[in-house]
Structure 1
Amino acid sequence: MSITLTTWSLEQTSPADLRPSPAPEDGDLRITRAGFPSAEFSRFLYTAVGGDIHWGDRLSLTHPQWQALMEKPGTETWVAYENGTPAGYVELDAQDDGVVEIVYFGLIPAFRGRGIGGHLLSYGVARAWDLAERWPDRKPTSRVWLHTCSLDGEHAMANYERRGFRLFETKTERTELTETPGPWPGAYA
């Protein structure tokens, strides 16, 4: 199916830009760095979070290609757990000259709308700003950026703006919408 897709690119250029959101008061929410680069765990998070909003750009990757992405120096995955269950994640990618991209961010559908997303995004952005502390060969972060699109959740753009991100580019194009399986074929049928 052909659709018109709008993609917005947003950025922060100073740690002072971040306007954090507190953790939800109910539940037991923990955010932990995935300390072992695992293609399997990353693919699980990617399909569980992005399956219903048509994330598909990584689905054709082989296991070695996916593993190489997870092992790239400066790549980090931060996972939110509610009562021990993965709820969502933030994947960071340190790029050249102190730039960090939030490559993926989102929640598994069952955890959306409960105040977790604002806090997880805040936490991920803070980790992007202090990335050089964990990767000493990297320059200090001077810019954090991400993109979102018209297929993402209805509250995505507002969450990014509330956290202090500013729009710097908008693109609109026709594209083919591909079916994505979610965590398993037919999960979102």
Structure 2
Amino acid sequence: MLLPDGYSDIPHGKIAAVVTHLEMTERPPRRDDPPGALRLRRVDLPALDWYRDLYRRVGEEWLWFTRTGLDDADLAARIHAPGIELYGLAVEDHDEGLLELDFSEAGQCELLYFGVTAKFIGTGAARFLMNRALEIAWSRDVGRVWVHTCTFDHPSAVAFYQRSGFRPFKRQIEVADDPRLDGTLPRDAARHVPVIA
């Protein structure tokens, strides 16, 4: 269905975001790492509690809810699936960033989840994490690396991805139930997105 020009009403209890899809089809020039004691660690067969905690700490402010309500079996099936690789951004033995890569489709890599915790936004940690993500992705037999972000994410997300070498290729509108109304996320999460019950 094609949306008409102008405003379209969103029912109360729903949220709507503009989603931007970005891709790169060749390895970009390498960007310098920021100073600091950051390291990336691969997490094979991640524990569900570890994943849920890091997913929440990184994504709650940006309304990451897709994986929040999954039961153990469904979450395990997704994060332990063939082609999925998970990494933590370690800072002094604590994971403060999440990188989830999907190599399940031949010839490409999707950055499924990418982000750092609030206290590391603006410190260069995301640039370090992206540098490692692109090194890993382009070390495989891929011709395309892609990601999507939306208007619930950090306001600089699209510009950050473009500085990293991605270019936008598609835009969509996503409508979903507001996860703060059913308790999936706290009522005060993502204050930049008003709750309309």
| Interval of TM-score (by shorter of Structure 1 and Structure 2) | 0.7 to 0.9
Quote the RMSD (CA, aligned, Å): 2.1
Structure 2 contact 83–103 (Cα < 8 Å) conserved = yes
Report which of the two has the higher share of helix.
1
**Which residue does the alignment assign to 1:6?**
18
SS, match of residue 106 in structure 2: helix
Structure 2 contact 97–117 (Cα < 8 Å) conserved = yes
**Which residue does the alignment assign to 1:127?**
136
**Which residue does the alignment assign to 1:22?**
32
Structure 2 contact 69–184 (Cα < 8 Å) conserved = no
Q: 1:96 Cα shift?
A: 2.1
Letter aligned with residue 115 of structure 1: G
| Alignment coverage as a number of residue pairs | 176
Distance 1:71 1:169 in 2: 29
SS, match of residue 96 in structure 1: coil
Distance 2:48 2:80 in 1: 9
**Which residue does the alignment assign to 2:194?**
none
Structure ID, larger Rg: 2
1:37-116 counterparts in 2 under 5 A? 37-116=46-125
Distance 1:4 1:60 in 2: 19
Letter aligned with residue 150 of structure 1: T
Distance 2:78 2:16 in 1: 29
Distance 1:130 1:38 in 2: 26
Distance 2:34 2:145 in 1: 24
Structure 1 contact 20–118 (Cα < 8 Å) conserved = no
**Which residue does the alignment assign to 1:136?**
none
Q: 1:166 Cα shift?
A: 0.8
What is the TM-score with the length of structure 2 in the denominator? 0.80
Q: Is there any run of 5+ residues in structure 2 with no aligned partner, and where?
A: 1-12, 192-197
Distance 1:2 1:187 in 2: 16
Letter aligned with residue 164 of structure 2: R
SS, match of residue 68 in structure 1: helix
Distance 1:92 1:186 in 2: 30
